[in-house]
Homo-oligomer: A and B are copies of this chain.
Amino acid sequence: MKNHTAPVRKEYFSESSSIFRHLTPEELARIPIDQDPDFYKRGTIVYSEGSRINGFYCVQRGIIKIYKTGFDGKEQIIRFAKKGDIMGFRSTITRERACTTAKVLEDAYISFVHADTVLEFVKHNGTFALELLQIACKELGEANDYITDIAQKTVRERLAEVLIHLRKDFDLDHEKYLQITLTREELANMVGTATESVIRLLSEFKQDGLIELQGRKIKILDEKMLFKIGNMND
């Protein structure tokens, strides 16, 4: 998986978006990554549910789908990780096995930082620890919102909400279509519904002039209305 033309390297760790930005040069030097980030091709599993994770995965490029597998094998997408995001920190911190699977949606470059190193930093660099705590707490807040939404909103409302979130989290291409392309099934696995329901609702939204569809690509036309349909506040 290594040995590609890595587009990003060690400098990544001192970029302003990185959680490692507050480390001292000495601490940075301690990160044992003289090697380039690893390349992961679309479709690759970075880690899977139940496996042991021994550190952080820092996404430098690409998109990774993070999901849980439910009782009947159905995926529930928890979130996507993209440039600047870290994956696997929950398991690293709690020392439990991974409770999610991370699968590459768009070719990715990912750096791995060993758990020992991370824990070292947490213990000796308060700013780093706080940073990490903030990330965890942010996710926790989002998870709580998600719970409430899934429990209380209709599929229609949730789909509208998911579209808005995608719009916020991902860039648009030159034609204003969402950069991220998902199968209908993946959309369904975010919303928590059946594929067919997503299909029907999408074409409804399209009929109502709220979105435009081009195969898997989606363009948001009427964000305001989707916002309303999704009963959103933020």
Q: Which residue of the partner chain, among B72, B94, B119, B153, contacts A141 with CB atoms under 8 Å?
A: B94
The closest CB in chain B to the CB of A233 belongs to: B71
Contact A124 B122 (CB under 8 A): no
The closest CB in chain B to the CB of A71 belongs to: B231
Contact A137 B90 (CB under 8 A): yes
The closest CB in chain B to the CB of A189 belongs to: B151
Cα distance, A74 to B119, chains bound together (Å): 40
- Which of chain B's residues have a CB closer than 8 A to the CB of A133? 93, 122, 129, 132-133, 136
16 pairs of residues in contact across A and B, judged by CB atoms under 8 Å: A68-B144, A70-B148, A70-B151, A76-B148, A90-B140, A93-B133, A93-B134, A94-B141, A99-B145, A122-B130, A124-B126, A129-B133, A132-B133, A143-B146, A147-B147, A150-B150
- Which of chain B's residues have a CB closer than 8 A to the CB of A122? 126, 129-130, 133
- Which of chain B's residues have a CB closer than 8 A to the CB of A153? 70-71
Contact B137 A127 (CB under 8 A): no
Interface flag for A139 (CB, 8 Å):
yes
User: Shortest beta-carbon distance, A56 to chain B, in Å?
Assistant: 12
Cα distance, A210 to B142, chains bound together (Å): 35
Chain A contact surface mostly: helix
| A contact residues, range | 35 or more
Q: Which residue of the partner chain, among B74, B123, B132, B231, contacts A127 with CB atoms under 8 Å?
A: B123
Cα distance, A150 to B155, chains bound together (Å): 13
Interface flag for A116 (CB, 8 Å):
no
The closest CB in chain B to the CB of A130 belongs to: B122
Contact B123 A126 (CB under 8 A): yes
> Which residues 79-125 of A sit at the B interface, judged by CB distance below 8 A?
89-90, 93-94, 96, 99-100, 119, 122-124
Contact B192 A150 (CB under 8 A): yes
- Which of chain B's residues have a CB closer than 8 A to the CB of A119? 130
Q: Which residue of the partner chain, among B68, B78, B141, B231, contacts A96 with CB atoms under 8 Å?
A: B141
